[in-house]
Amino acid sequence: MHAFDFIRTCHWSDLPTTTKATLALCLKDLCAVALAGAKTDLSAVLRETVSQTWLADRSISEKLCFSGAKVAPAGAALALGMTVDAIDAHDGHRLCKGHAGAALFGAWAPFVERHKTDRAEALSALAVGYEIALRAGIALHQTASDYHTSGAWAAVGVAAMMGRLRGLSDSQMLHALGTAEYHGPRSPMMRCIDHPTMLKDGAGWGAMAGVTAVDLAQRGFTGAPAELLDTMDTASLGERWTLREQYFKPYPVCRWAQPAILSAAQRRKRHNLRAEDIEAVEIQSFHEACRLAVRHPADTEQAQYSMPFPVAALLVRGRLGVEEVTEDGLRDPAILAMANRITLRESELDNADFPDHRFATVTLRLRSGQELVSDRLEPNGDPERPLSGAALADKWQNVIGDEGGLPVLSWNLRKLGSKGDFRRALAPVFRPLP
C-alpha cells in the first residue's frame, strides 16, 4: 500500500486486535510516563520557556502540558515530547534504537484535547504516526552511518499523523513530510550517551519539527522530497504492524542498561542477597551499553544514561524506580559505594547481536568467596517477553503514585475505541501542577 493511501485511509477498524491492544498500551504508558516526567527539572524549564516564547493567537493555540497556558501547537508539542522523554521510561523499538511514542504523543495529545477529536479518528492517526515513524527509523539506521536521535525519524511520523488530523491535501502532505525529514533533529545520539544532559533523545524537537512542517505546508511552504519514504518499507503498510514490535520498559533508565538490571535482580532475589554480601560485580554486554559508564551521576539524566548506577541501586534497594534516579537515590552512599564495585566488559558476542537483541551477563562475587553468574539475558518488555498486567500496574503506580489520577489507565480496549473524545481522559496531562 502506498504511504499516502495508508496515511489517509487507515482506520481503527482496520487494525488487528493485537495491534489495537499494543496501541492502547502505548497510550496508557505514555500518559503515566508524562505525569512522572512533569516532576523533573527538565520539564519545568521547558514549560517556563514555552509559556514565555511560544505565544499564539487564541484561534490556533493549544494547552501547555501541566500548565493549561495557551501556546502555539509547536511549542505545546516540544514541551510535552520532552516531558515524556525526561523520565526515560517510555515505549521503544529495537531496530530504531529509540522511541517514537514520546514525539507522537507530544504532538497528538494537545491537538486531540483542543479539537475534541473522535476517539476512533484520533487513534487511527496515532497508529499511522507510529507506523510511518518506526519504518522511517528502521530505514534511517540502515542507511545512515551515524546514530541519530529518535527525533530525526519520529518527526516524519509526526508530520504524517498531524497532516492527517489537519486534513492536508496530497501536495501539502508531500511538502510537510519533506520539511519534517529535512529539519528533523539528526543529532549525534552517542554524544548524549557519553555526556548525559537534558538534551536526551530529541523527542520534543522531533515533535516540534513535525508540527511546524505541517503548519508551514498549510500555508504554502514547499519542502524537498522525503528520501526516507523511498527507502523505508511501505509495501507492507497495513499488513505488517511495526507497532506490534514495540517494547515497554519496566525501569526508568536507558533500555541498554536493562538486561544487566534484570540479570542482577534475578541473582539478588534467587539467593536472597543483601548489599553487604556483594564484594564485586562484573557486567558483560554490548559496546553501546558499556559506554553507559557513569558511576556517580550528578543528576537524573546521568543516572538514566548509566549502567553501573542503576544496577547498584537495584542491588542495594531491591527496586529501581523514580526515587532511585532522582535526588533521594543520587545521594545514597550505599548505592554510590556499590557502583564503585562494578566493572564493565564489552562482549563481541553481544556486539554481534545488537541492535536486534540486547544481552547482558552479570557476575556477582560474594564476600564468602562464592561467584554467581547470571544467564545471558535480554530485558523484559519485548514482544517475546511482555510485561505482565501486574508488572505494568506496578510500574505505573511507581512512576505516578496513584493510578486513579489518570482515567485512561483504567480504560479497557473496548472503551478506548468507543464514541466520544479524549478530553476528559487527558485532563490530568494539561492540569497545572500543584
Neighbouring C-beta atoms of residue 353, cutoff 10 Å: 14
Total domains present in the chain: 2
The Cα 22–Cα 274 span in angstroms is 37
260 and 241 in a common domain: no
Q: Could you please report the per-residue DSSP string of 150-201?
A: THHHHHHHHHHHHHHHTT--HHHHHHHHHHHHHHS---BHHHHHHS--TTTT
Cα 63–64–70 angle (5° rounding)?
50
Is residue 86 in some structural domain? Answer: yes
pLDDT tens digits for range 150-186: 999 999 999 999 999 999 999 999 999 999 999 999 8
pLDDT of residue 405: 65
Do residues 287 and 272 share a domain? yes
What does the pLDDT look like over 216-238, one tens digit per residue?
Answer: 999 999 999 999 998 999 999 99
For residues 84 and 161, membership in a common domain is answered with: yes
CA distance to 40, 101, 135, 169, 236, per residue, from 232 (Å): 36, 19, 6, 22, 10
Residues 80 and 215 in one domain: yes
CA 91 to chain centroid, in Å, comes to 5
The answer to whether position 379 is within a domain reads no
Cβ atoms of 327 and 311 closer than 8 Å: no
Characterize the bridge pairing of strands 278-285 and 70-71.
Answer: unpaired
Average pLDDT of the chain is: 94
Residue type, 300: T
Residues 97 and 243 in one domain: yes
Identify whether 383 is part of a domain: no
User: What single-letter amino acid sits at 266?
Assistant: Q
Q: Is there a single domain that holds both residue 18 and residue 158? A: yes
pLDDT tens string 320-378: 999 999 888 999 999 999 999 999 999 999 999 999 999 999 999 999 999 999 999 99
Assess if residue 210 is contained within a domain.
yes
Phi-psi region of 88 (alpha: psi -120 to 50; beta: other; left: phi over 0): left
Specify whether 71 is located in the same domain as 89. yes
Question: What is the C-alpha separation between 132 and 153, in angstroms, rounded?
Answer: 9
Domain housing 108: 3-250+389-430
On whether both 280 and 243 belong to a single domain, the answer is no
Residue 278 φ then ψ, to 5°? -100, 120
Residue 381 lies in a domain: no
**pLDDT at residue 20, as a whole number:** 96
Question: How many CA atoms are closer than 13 Å to the CA of 86, on its beta-carbon side?
Answer: 29
pLDDT tens profile 21-54: 999 999 999 999 999 999 999 999 999 999 999 9
In a domain, 378, yes or no: no
Report the CATH number at residue 403: 1.10.4100.10
